[in-house]
A and B are shown apart, each in its own frame.
Chain A
Amino acid sequence: MGTLDSGKIRTLKKIKGNRWCIMLLCVCCAVFCCAAAAPVLAPYNPTAVDLDSVKQPPSSRHLFGTDTLGRDMLSRVMYAGRVSLCIGLIATVLSLCIGLAAGLVAGYCGGVVDAILTMCIDLFLSFPSLLLAIAVSVVLPPGIAATVCALCIAGWAPFARLFRGMALSIKEHTYIDAARAVGCSPHRIILVHLLPQCLPLIMVAGSLKIGSFILAEAALSFLGIGVQPPTPAWGSMISLYRGFLPAAPWMVIFPGLAIAGTVMVFNMLGDVLRDAVDPRLRV
């Protein structure tokens, strides 16, 4: 455990010493806070119709302009962010859990278990991800739960492959042999000895994945098979206002900027974390 703790502390120190990393973490927190505190922060009610100020361009009264029914775009983008971020976060946590379980078990157990699990992983990797997500969300009744489910089914396999590789390499260390020699059960070895070693990788892979899940969710909602219209989401907002692009581009530009900005922050955080945790992992 000694080496493990010092490893963790080293990682934390590296993250603390990196000004970029701290800044990006703060921005991430700010994005989450903005979404979580939308009812407090939003200047207007996102569903309040104001027919006197329809399709107003951005101004000091309405920073992001108003939509076809006079609803404030800033408030709508903030409320939509809650849904989109929530889906991204839940899908990431769930697919990380599935990927960790499958990957670590496959890597540690080896043999038939590994062969079967690897086959499953390869199978899910052989579908283009959005294609699979589309197929799943067609079958399930549409909604937030179905979207999360579709994203998880399409997104767990890369995690599993990553952690299988990790388990394969950690397994060779002598302290795992020692643990086995003193009679640790396989599930104890996986939970206590393998899992903590994967933590840095989990952080990196997770923060990179949130971004791609938010993008995928936006794509599904844009196509009309993700989050359904009464619930606001960035993707479905863009699809809703698409027809007004020539006359009122701000209605399309701001939700898109919100997606791109959020995803970019998560991607940059992932990159910085990766450099801090292990420069060898750099793509």
Chain B
Amino acid sequence: MNSVRGTNAEPEEFNPYKSFISIGCFLKSMNLYYVQRITMVIPTLVGITMVTFILLKMLPGDPVQSLAGERTDPAAMEVIARELGDTGSVIDQYLGYVKLLMQGELGRSYYTNTKVSDELLEKLPNTLCLAGAALLVSVVVGLLFGVLMAAYRGSFIDRCCLIVVTGGISIPVFWLGLLLVYIFCFWLKLLPPAGMEKGNLAYYILPASTLGLNAAAALARITRASMIDILSQPYILTARAKGISRLAIVLHHAFRNALLPVVTIIGLDFGSFLNGSFLTETIFGWDGMGRYAIEAIFRRDYPVVLGCVLTGAILFVGVNLMVDLIYRLCDPKIRYAHTP
């Protein structure tokens, strides 16, 4: 019994059997939860492919006609349609589409005739690098502002920061980017206005700040609310009564607990980074997925556009799944709340 207590149970757990059983149940419920959460992704993915398929079908222009020309005899049109997989019922066409997607086939660009999947594999890492840098900016700036505002709640600092943060949420990403370019490139002449160079951090600063500051403002609001919630808990009062300094309470007692709701926001942030990457990459000439898609829109290069949309949506779903799973691992309250 002692060994059970020593290895598996938490020290305050009185009945070792109970803890053992609860750990078993907990593991079971955890696995169930994971299985459930992961299988829930499948209908979403199917739905996403359906939406892109519908968009594909709604595209202006008939691909068969545009390939065959105006006056072609119906037999030749038939052959081309079969080659394109454009025959049969809509359901057959959809299944064919999904089958191609499963093989990683996103079609070929009308413009360059290269495979969309190959091009995306080349551009996606750049976008992800930028998103990572933006995440760093948003987490550092957002948490700093959030904790500062909560610590000085109701004071002059809090009010000023609140106005700055509300402004930060309301500023259009592309305008912020242009302003930063104007200030740091044309006025102060400190940073390069556009382009990218592997490993050169100077090229990352402006795009990452542009992309990250919006998200930082949102994060700061959530952190503030979460911190204020935690700081009004009785255990904080206890800590105060014990004579612990305010700084230590804020940083050590409150901050770690306040971080939990913030984790989920990072998943949503990733969505806003994907949204923002279209704008930021266009402004800064960043060779990523966003700019690839926008350039394709102007060339009416639809396979590329839909390939990017599909990839973006799948990435978003994947990141949200990971965040959910990690959140569950991090937060003991959720873990135990679901234990039967």
Contact = CB atoms under 8 A, between A and B. Distances in A.
Interface in B297-336: 297-298, 302, 305-306, 309, 312-313, 316-317, 320
Interface stretch (A32-40, A164-172, A248-256): A248-256
A128 B310 CA distance: 11
Nearest to A131: B312
A7 interface: no
Contacts of A120: 47
B278 A235 contact: no
A245 B167 CA distance: 22
A261 B170 CA distance: 8
Residue of B171, B272, B320 most packed against chain A (CB within 10 A)? B171
Contacts of A122: 44, 47
A131 B171 CA distance: 19
A136 interface: yes
Residue of A130, A242, A246, A259 most packed against chain B (CB within 10 A)? A130
Contacts of A186: none
Residue of A122, A134, A136, A271 most packed against chain B (CB within 10 A)? A134
* Secondary structure call for the B interface: helix
Contacts of A222: 172, 174, 279
B25 interface: no
A123 B46 CA distance: 9
Interface residues of A, number: 45
Residue of A123, A242, A252, A271 most packed against chain B (CB within 10 A)? A123
B178 A235 contact: no
B8 interface: no
B271 A219 contact: no
Residue of A129, A131, A235 most packed against chain B (CB within 10 A)? A131
Given A139-B59, A238-B175, A126 B320 contact: yes
Contacts of B55: 135-136, 138-139
Interface string A135-174: 1101101000000000000000000000000000000000
B172 A123 contact: no
A238 B225 CA distance: 34
Interface string B215-240: 00000011001000000000000000
A260 B217 CA distance: 14
Interface stretch (A64-72, A73-81, A177-185, A262-270): A262-270
B166 interface: yes
B48 A126 contact: yes
Interface string B278-292: 110010000000000
B297 A134 contact: yes
Interface of B: 43-44, 47-48, 51-52, 55, 58-60, 166-167, 169-175, 178-179, 181-182, 186, 221-222, 225, 271-272, 274-276, 278-279, 282, 293-294, 297-298, 302, 305-306, 309, 312-313, 316-317, 320
10 contacts: A122-B44, A128-B271, A128-B316, A134-B278, A135-B55, A219-B172, A219-B275, A256-B171, A260-B175, A264-B170
